[in-house]
Structure 1
Amino acid sequence: MDHFLYRDGRLMAEDVELAAIARQVGTPVYVYSAATLTRHFRLFDEALDGLDHLVCFAMKSLSNLAVLKLLGDLGAGMDVVSGGEYARARAAGIAPGRIVFSGVGKTRAEMAAALTGGIRQFNVESVPELMALSEVAAGLERTAPIALRVNPDVDAGTHEKIATGRRHDKFGVPIARARDIYAQAARLPGIAVVGIDVHIGSQLTSLAPFEAAYLKVADLTRALRADGHDIRRLDLGGGLGIPYARDNAAPPVPLDYGALIRRTVGDLGCEIEIEPGRLIAGNAGVLVSEVLYLKEESGLRWVILDAAMNDLVRPAMYGAHHDIVPLTQSAPGAEGIVADVVGPVCESGDTFARGRPLPPLAQGDLVALRSAGAYAAVMASEYNSRPLVPEVLVQGDQFAVIRARPTIDEMLARDTIPAWL
């Protein structure tokens, strides 16, 4: 569910007309719904009601400070994967004890910053990382709470580029080696074993891979406790998918996911951590764009938008689908078109859709690319020296710009020409 609905033929974000935002802020522009973000977070929180748990928002999906504060005020923790994300979480007011640090390539500087500023736990992904963390923690006379990320060799059946739980993926350590590595961790200075971490991929549309992975984690928990380790937290990752097209079959809902967690690991007495990102943020955002031109040649038709692959890279990167809808509904029975929807960047890959059935469109019309709240603005760039897209947050009948569009002069000012040129 989302809060982007037509009212009297106009597409709204909650109680704000999207066209009004476009007129004031310009296009392209990302627009997020506070009501949708709130509802989706609460679905996960309620799904684990009765279990000791923490829902950590995966910041890599959407890291604007206003969004982080909104979710933090609801009780969310944060899953960060860089020193920059850690700093953002703290700037948004997230308590250190609610921040989990994930990622395969943590630097010593990032470790030190988190240890000094405070951290709930590090999700350690390799033996070399474990050794480095021990050295940093011991040098600072701090203790680093850790969960070892285990790779259960489970194929999540998702896109090749977002699968993370197979034997040949770069993430975690083989689950078969986990007991030996935990024994090593227990002997290291500055390290405190607190749990187990697993994450098998993103945009999963079936619960079966989760079940296979979590059952392996349950067995490992019992084995590690038998070895004398105090396993009191299970970080089960994220990955629950969303429907990117209105006519797609709906993925599992958080309530069913919560029931699976209870069934597989709920009897272990562990605190449960989950790290959803896409399902909280994905359908909470749209990218609003203007139709620049309609081009027809050799029996082909293109709709050229002012948004481009540098603004929303998912279609170019993953072949991802986003529904594209007009901000003003067409009259009933109006004849539609079939066209490629493209941007102005000088790359053939700058294409949002090919052969897409669309309502009738004209130059100057505004459209919304739906399901653009996750892995969208965070992955934007200034390719072709195009300014980053602004972000807007809507709550009820009010909206605010939560990241402004930089000017060309601001972009140029970041470059420096050496004196010898």
Structure 2
Amino acid sequence: MDDSVSPRKAAIAARAYGDGLLIEDAPLIGVIDMDAFRHTIDDLRASFPNFFRHAFAAKANTMPAILKFIRGAGMSCEVASPGEFEAAVAAGFEGEEIVFDSPAKTRWEIDAALKSGATLNIDNWQELTRVDDWMGKGKSRSIVGIRVNPQVGAGGIAAMSTATRTSKFGIGLEDGDNRELVIAAYAARPWLTCLHTHVGSQGCPLELIAAGIAKTYALAEEINERLGRKQITTLDIGGGLPVNFESDKITPSFKDYVASLRAGVPGLFSGEFKVVTEFGRSVLAKAGFILARVEYTKETGGHPIAITHAGAQVATRTVFMPELWKIRVSALDGQARPKKGERIEQDVAGPCCFAGDIVAHARPLPLLEPGDFVMLHDTGAYYFSTPFVYNSLPAIPVYGVSGPDDALKVEALQQGHALV
């Protein structure tokens, strides 16, 4: 893995240290390069035709400042829980700007979505019955669709693959008479005007994603043809662009994703349907990083270990699934400058009170010492915005940085809690 620190990140880390953001009672901070964030959103929108609408998957980062920034940049918001729904509303999203997906919607959630005009994607037959009950008593301006599972298989990370034969999401198109039952559901309900799918995210190759979307597109075409009317007007194709955690290089890109869709689902670009995407990790991951102080170092069994303040509470997936969620770690000196020196294999451990709290195993780095810092790269999505509250460790402060390297503007995005 490439553990080099780009000049931009080095300038931001030096500014954070110089401004006193890394102090005794705040040994762990998150940073988002807001310029890089905006550039990614601009690239996303430029890569697709204008009739594509892009909803940010709020699960990737629910911080109010981030959601407001996203809305200001012209994106919608995809939510999957009451908390995310309320966060989206508080950030100013309204009506169809909110896309409500969840496999476990309560009647309250269905009611809130349909009353607000949010786009609602129904996950299963039982939920469809609940929406039938609601529609029998009221009217909604919501775009409503059914989520189908094209069952095209798994990618490299099973937990991130949502189009397997036994996925908990959506209605499996290959199961029994489901395909015909879905068509019949649309025939009986003119208010069903959307069809939704999501094949997966990290670990899923673009060809697999395109294959799942192709099956969903073909079903939408068949439904409209069989009904003799253009009832389905919107296709929600989910998100799923994988992120490269090996280096700063952005690969695959949104343009790569579009090229794969054009090859596998050319009709998607005809303009026949409005198309919604739900990218999250790929929009924000590479704009963020974590800085954590090294509190202690030790050697056990001849093996060096650095005890830092970044562990499972911020890097949950990395700690519990280290082979699948490796992240880059860079060594910084006591003034948060890139550290030089002989590379020695060492563990970079976190503060949580269990033995497996390791964010990097036997990683060759300049030998870390107490008072040094480590940088965890590509953590803008999921890492510091959805904390794992093991040991009641507090949420960390997060700062947004913008402007040229020699005149950086720093603003607080999330208040952390000082250690006491």
Q: For this structure pair, what is the TM-score category when the shorter chain's length is used for normalisation?
A: 0.7 to 0.9
Query: Following the alignment from structure 1 to structure 2, what is the Cα–Cα distance between the partners of residues 29 and 308?
Result: 12
Q: Give the CA deviation at 1:198.
A: 1.0
Question: Once the two structures are superposed, what CA deviation does each residue of 1:35-80 show, in whole Å capped at 9, x if it has no partner?
Answer: 121111111111113x411011111011111111111111101111
1:100–1:122 CA contact under 8 A, matched in 2: yes
Q: Report SS of the residue matched to 1:346.
A: coil
Query: Following the alignment from structure 1 to structure 2, what is the Cα–Cα distance between the partners of residues 329 and 100?
Result: 42
Query: Following the alignment from structure 2 to structure 1, what is the Cα–Cα distance between the partners of residues 53 and 140?
Result: 24
Question: Once the two structures are superposed, what CA deviation does each residue of 1:331-371 show, in whole Å capped at 9, x if it has no partner?
Answer: 4xx21221111112111221101111112321111111111
1:280 corresponds to which of 256, 279, 283: 283
Query: Following the alignment from structure 2 to structure 1, what is the Cα–Cα distance between the partners of residues 280 and 182?
Result: 29
Asked if 1:369 corresponds to 2:380, the answer is no
Q: Which residue of 2 aligns with 1:323?
A: 328
Residues 71 and 14 of structure 1, relative CA distance in 2, 3 Å threshold: farther
Query: Following the alignment from structure 1 to structure 2, what is the Cα–Cα distance between the partners of residues 291 and 363?
Result: 5
Q: Which residue of 1 aligns with 2:120?
A: 122
Q: Which residue of 1 aligns with 2:39?
A: 39
Q: Which residue of 2 aligns with 1:208?
A: 207
Query: Following the alignment from structure 1 to structure 2, what is the Cα–Cα distance between the partners of residues 70 and 394?
Result: 13
Gaps of 5+ in 1: 410-421
**Matched letter for residue 350 of structure 1:** D
Residue range with higher mean Cα deviation, 388-397 or 194-203: 388-397
Q: Report SS of the residue matched to 1:373.
A: coil
Q: Give the CA deviation at 1:408.
A: 7.2
Gaps of 5+ in 2: none
Q: Which residue of 1 aligns with 2:298?
A: 295
1:60–1:80 CA contact under 8 A, matched in 2: yes
Query: Following the alignment from structure 1 to structure 2, what is the Cα–Cα distance between the partners of residues 18 and 275?
Result: 36
1:12–1:18 CA contact under 8 A, matched in 2: no
1:44–1:258 CA contact under 8 A, matched in 2: no
Map 1:108-147 to 2 at 5 A: 108-119=107-118, 121-142=119-140, 144-147=142-145
Query: Following the alignment from structure 1 to structure 2, what is the Cα–Cα distance between the partners of residues 143 and 187?
Result: 18
Q: Report SS of the residue matched to 1:369.
A: strand
Q: Which residue of 2 aligns with 1:166?
A: 164
Q: Report SS of the residue matched to 2:213.
A: helix
**Matched letter for residue 258 of structure 2:** G
Query: Following the alignment from structure 2 to structure 1, what is the Cα–Cα distance between the partners of residues 105 and 11?
Result: 41
Q: Report SS of the residue matched to 1:171.
A: coil
Q: Which residue of 2 aligns with 1:66?
A: 65
Q: Report SS of the residue matched to 2:22.
A: helix
Map 1:372-383 to 2 at 5 A: 372-383=379-390
Q: Report SS of the residue matched to 2:137.
A: helix
Identity %: 27
Map 1:231-270 to 2 at 5 A: 231-246=232-247, 251-263=251-263, 264=265, 265-267=268-270, 269-270=272-273
2:313 corresponds to which of 302, 310, 316: 310
Asked if 1:401 corresponds to 2:408, the answer is no
Query: Following the alignment from structure 1 to structure 2, what is the Cα–Cα distance between the partners of residues 63 and 199?
Result: 20
**Matched letter for residue 208 of structure 1:** E
Question: Once the two structures are superposed, what CA deviation does each residue of 1:74-120 show, in whole Å capped at 9, x if it has no partner?
Answer: 1101111012111111111123221111111111111111222221x
TM-score, normalised relative to structure 1? 0.88
1:335 corresponds to which of 331, 342, 365: 342
Residues 36 and 138 of structure 1, relative CA distance in 2, 3 Å threshold: farther
Query: Following the alignment from structure 1 to structure 2, what is the Cα–Cα distance between the partners of residues 382 and 204?
Result: 26
Query: Following the alignment from structure 1 to structure 2, what is the Cα–Cα distance between the partners of residues 19 and 11?
Result: 12
Query: Following the alignment from structure 1 to structure 2, what is the Cα–Cα distance between the partners of residues 97 and 192?
Result: 15
Q: Which residue of 2 aligns with 1:414?
A: none
2:114–2:120 CA contact under 8 A, matched in 1: no
Query: Following the alignment from structure 1 to structure 2, what is the Cα–Cα distance between the partners of residues 205 and 135?
Result: 37
Q: Which residue of 1 aligns with 2:79?
A: 80
Q: Report SS of the residue matched to 2:293.
A: strand
Residues 42 and 178 of structure 1, relative CA distance in 2, 3 Å threshold: farther
Q: CA RMSD in A?
A: 2.3
Query: Following the alignment from structure 2 to structure 1, what is the Cα–Cα distance between the partners of residues 52 and 159?
Result: 29
Q: Give the CA deviation at 1:289.
A: 0.4
**Matched letter for residue 413 of structure 2:** I
Q: Give the CA deviation at 1:140.
A: 4.1
Residue range with higher mean Cα deviation, 169-178 or 364-373: 169-178
Question: Once the two structures are superposed, what CA deviation does each residue of 1:186-225 show, in whole Å capped at 9, x if it has no partner?
Answer: 435xx71112111111114632102211221222122111
Q: Which residue of 2 aligns with 1:195?
A: 194
Residue range with higher mean Cα deviation, 230-239 or 170-179: 170-179
